[in-house]
Amino acid sequence: MRLTFENDGDETSHSNRRLRMNDTVIITSYVIIDDMMRSLNHRRHCLAQVPDAEVLTVAVVAAKYFHNHHERALWVLSRLGYLSGRLSTSRFNRRLHALCAWLPLTLETRGELFAQGAVFIIDSMPLPTCRRARARRNK
């Protein structure tokens, strides 16, 4: 199965239109979905091997790159190592249906962020900038 595709130049023909899977879009989508779910205090099931954000990311990737073919998107993303655990197609469908209320908010949030054209992901570790030197001595 060929995973990377290019656009042949003819924008009107659907048979010639091919998309290249983009790591940046996939990872950014996951980060946006995960941060959104955390900020809204979503709790995942304790027995779930794959987080809910990854389930929604598979649905987003299926819509963008696989013409909503969820089974193929699940297979490709699991083979490429994007998923943290194993997930069968039937279990994926059950979990996606359970999370269906999150899809409109997910797509709206992603659309707003990607429409601006600049999405920055900062991966950093907080460092102490100030240290109390005399605070304990002066009371």
Residue 127 included in any domain:
no
Residue 9 included in any domain:
no
- What's the number of domains the chain is made of? 1
Query: Which pLDDT value is given to residue 131?
Result: 63
Residue 57 included in any domain:
yes
Residue 89 included in any domain:
yes
Residue 18 included in any domain:
no
Blockwise average pLDDT, block size 10, the chain, 139 residues:
41 50 86 91 85 93 91 93 90 92 86 71 61 61
Q: Burial code of 100-132, b = ≥16 C-beta within 10 A, e = fewer?
A: eebeeebeeebeeeeeeeeeeeeeeeeeeeeee
Range of the domain at 96: 23-116
